[in-house]
Amino acid sequence: METAQPPRRLSAQLTFDRVAAVYDDFMGRWTRLYLPALRRAAALVPGQRILDLATGTGEAALMAAEAAAPASVILGADISLAMLRGAKAKLGARPIRLAAMDAQALACRDAVFDAVISQLGLMFVPDPLAGLRECRRVLRPGGRLAALVWSTADRVAWFGALAEELTRHLPARRTEILQGVSLGAPGRLARLLGDADFAEVSVTTETQSFVFESFDAYWGHIESGAIRAGLLLRELPEDARRAVKDGVRARLAPFASRGRLVMPTEALVASARR
């Protein structure tokens, strides 16, 4: 008999299983811009043992392999099997191990990694403090954690507009809609790192722009289900979906420039030591 999983954890797993096929077409395309900031925060050096937590389709694991070559050991862990299949196809024969793991209960020995990195995954862990404590457990003494999460919705333009409109139509799903920015509130990430007994905690910001040739190009990615909010959009009747689209278009009008959308998007970059 299979054991039922906690609803939020299953929701996260199923969500990323569903978005995996189109993830790189939208999110992966833009989140690559933040990899240099994550690399600086991690201060990776050759020969390290590195865990990429919530590896997704493997972009941060690839970065780590390049930064820590030669003779590094890289493990990419994710709860979504579909995401891991995408990572496997992307990584090819590169010596990066992939494994399905729950961030709250990592199947790793204590003090085995020199660094743990995580790009845009920590906010989807049902209990982020438990996830951070697991990160600390698997780090060797003096090892470093580097994590990147989205800032608040008002500083993530492409998402904030969509979240506001979706919440109007699905108020009972507000927490789920906003989970992607759930660690962005000022001071929250630093407090969690402190509560997990990390030292030398630093949280800085990194802003990049998501650029689309038109609003319709942006909206096509949302409707494709490339993010959780896009999947929730599909639950609405047609007239409500049309109202959400019109509302988002109006909210994003200030970011239109010669037909294109240029949307500033702020992330928080955290660094800490065990």
Instruction: Read off the pLDDT of residues 241-251 as tens digits, 9 standing for 90 and up.
Output: 999 999 999 99
**pLDDT computed for residue 58 by the predictor:** 95
pLDDT score recorded for residue 111:
98
Q: How far apart are CA 128 and CA 268, in angstroms?
A: 15
Cβ within 8 Å of residue 59, ≥6 positions away: 28, 31, 32, 35, 119
Average pLDDT estimate for 159-176: 95
Supply the pLDDT for residue 4: 42
Domains of the chain are 7-273 (3.40.50.150)
Q: Which of 21-30, 35-44, 252-261 has the lowest mean pLDDT?
A: 21-30
pLDDT per position as a tens digit, 182-222: 999 999 999 999 999 999 999 999 999 999 999 999 999 99
Which amino acid is residue 193, in one-letter code? L
Per-residue pLDDT at 10: 41
Mark 41-80 as b/e (b = at least 16 C-beta within 10 Å): bbebeeebbbbbbbbbbbbbbbbbbebbeeebbbbbbbbb
Give the residues across from 217 on adjacent strands: none
Nearest alpha-carbon partner for 170 in 235, 219, 218:
235
Entry pTM: 0.91
100-105, long-range: CB < 8 A, 24+ apart = 101/77, 102/9, 103/53, 103/54, 103/77, 103/79, 103/131, 103/134, 104/9, 104/130, 104/131, 104/134, 105/134
Instruction: Give the C-alpha separation, 268 to 123, whole Å.
Output: 11
Cα 219 to Cα 215: distance, rounded to the nearest angstrom: 6
Question: What pLDDT, on the 0 to 100 scale, is given for residue 215?
Answer: 97
Integer Cα distance of 226 and 59 in angstroms: 16
What is the model's pLDDT at position 11? 67
Sequence length of the chain is 274
Local confidence band at 5 (pLDDT 50, 70, 90 cut-offs): very low
CA dist., res. 88 & res. 80, Å (int): 12
Q: What is the pLDDT of residues 98-132, one digit of tens each?
A: 999 999 999 999 999 999 999 999 999 999 999 99
Mean pLDDT, the chain, whole residue set: 92
CA 133, chain centre distance (Å): 18
pLDDT tens by residue, 50-66: 999 999 999 999 999 99
Secondary structure letter of residue 129 according to DSSP: H
Kind of pairing between the strands at 73-78 and 96-100: parallel
Q: Is the confidence at residue 76, as pLDDT, over 90?
A: yes
The CA–CA distances, whole Å, from 124 to 13, 242, 253, 258, 270 equal 10, 28, 29, 35, 16
For the chain, report the end-to-end CA distance as a whole number of angstroms. Answer: 39
